[in-house]
């Protein structure tokens, strides 16, 4: 009768270790996410970047059109 009690102890130990492992993984993941947030004040405005990109694209188009006209 000693054999079934050993198997139940092994099962309980495996279950306990897996639960502790899963909980510790969750805590580690939560700790890493909290430090990666950049405050809104230091992030550049999306509209500003889009406007600057469009200005550069228009300048490139004007240069290309001028070069084609002069040929």
pLDDT of residue 58: 92
Alpha-helical (H) ranges within 1-71 are 2-34, 46-70
Sign of the torsion angle spanned by Cα atoms 55, 61, 65, 71: positive
Instruction: Read off the pLDDT of residues 9-62 as tens digits, 9 standing for 90 and up.
Output: 778 878 787 777 777 766 555 555 556 776 767 666 777 778 888 899 999 999
| Domain boundaries defined on the chain | 2-69
**What pLDDT is attached to residue 62?**
92
pLDDT at 64: 92
At 30 the pLDDT is: 55
Question: How far is CA 8 from each of CA 3, 22, 55, rounded to the nearest angstrom?
Answer: 9, 21, 71
Alpha carbon distance 3, 14 (integer Å): 17
Structure token digits, residue 70: 């002069």
């Amino acid at each position: 009768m000693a054999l079934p009690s050993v198997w139940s102890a092994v099962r309980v130990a495996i279950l306990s270790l897996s639960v502790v492992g899963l909980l510790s993984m969750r805590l580690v993941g939560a700790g890493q996410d909290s430090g990666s947030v950049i405050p809104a004040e230091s992030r550049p405005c999306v509209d500003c970047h889009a406007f600057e990109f469009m200005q550069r694209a228009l300048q490139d188009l004007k240069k290309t059109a001028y070069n084609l006209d002069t040929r």
